[in-house]
Amino acid sequence: MKFGASTWLWTSPFTSDKVELLQKIAELGFDFVEIPVENPGDIDAKALVPVLRDLNLEAVVCTAVVGERDLSTDDPQIRQTAFDYFEACIVLAEALGSNCLAGPLYAPVGKSRLPTEALRQAEWERSANNLRQLASKAGEHGVRLGLEPLNRFETDMICTVEDAKRMLADVNSPHLGIALDSFHMNIEEVDFCAAIKQAGEQLVHVQVSDSHRGVPGDGNSDWAGLREGLRAIDYKGKLSIESFSPDASSLADAVCIYQRFAPTQDEFAQRGLDFLRRWWAQA
């Protein structure tokens, strides 16, 4: 298993001049860096590739699906904004050697309400149709998309593996898979092991924190079930720590991180990695 850390653990947004952060992630012992793309123009792949190579760090690219990055809307201008953003992320993923692009690609984070069934179905169908087009574009660049289910407080569309698999069936593209986050799973999935097995070979990426979005191992997440499930499906992807820093005020506010889980974010990352290595090595 290769373990990584999201740059969101320290900063927001990530820009390609933050070489010292990449050096820190490598020095802490991580195998890869997870790079969330808030503004595609902030990240220069040509500048980053030699840095990552020198640090022996791989990269995984994730999306920040907010605002008008909405494939489910009936507004063609907003849909185009979403396509432009996602296509820029796909190109960046290819350039950085990330074989997947993960995130809640189907609709923006925070789009949670109690709409009519007719409205939900219309949004679902638009999202599926647009994801089919996006997946085709991803395939042209050798990138597989990973749909990330979110908890009910952040979306009303895809909250579980079952929801994600229904969308995958409707889109019907080999270039679309599932990306799971243990924080959201802890709210929505009854059984971690069963959820991982249900995702099966369609699982392309895994993110973890603990149940309170804190240091892995410090909460009440079903770590044994997660390990059992990943081993059962012979998972060959990567596993990253994703949480957020209270020092990145706008992002911390958006995800309701108002307190520290460790004295420093470096300690958060180090303790989390130490736990994950022990966790994965257990029989």
Alpha-carbon distance of 42 to 92, in angstroms, equals 11
The pLDDT tens digits of the residues spanning 57-69 come to 999 999 999 989 9
Amino acid occupying residue 67: G
CATH 3.20.19.10 corresponds to the domain 2-281: no
pTM over 0.85: yes
Place of tokens 């009854």: 190
Residue 242 annotated in active site? yes
Alpha-carbon distance of 260 to 121, in angstroms, equals 40
State the helix-helix crossing angle for 117-140 and 76-96, rounded to 10 degrees.
Answer: 40
Confidence grade of residue 123 (pLDDT, cut at 50, 70, 90)? very high
Among residues 254, 235, 108, 224, the alpha carbon closest in space to that of 178 is found at 235
The pLDDT tens digits of the residues spanning 88-117 come to 999 999 999 999 999 999 999 987 777 789
Q: Delimit the domains of the chain by residue range.
A: 2-281
Q: What would the mean pLDDT of 243-272 be, rounded to a whole number? A: 88
**CA distances (Å), 94 to each of 98, 205, 255, 265, in order?**
6, 16, 28, 29
The pLDDT tens digits of the residues spanning 130-183 come to 999 999 999 999 999 999 999 999 999 999 999 999 999 999 999 999 999 999
Name the active-site residue from 148, 189, 201, 228: 148
State the helix-helix crossing angle for 265-281 and 223-232, rounded to 10 degrees.
Answer: 60
Residue 154 annotated in active site? no
Running DSSP on this structure, what letter comes out for residue 201?
A: G
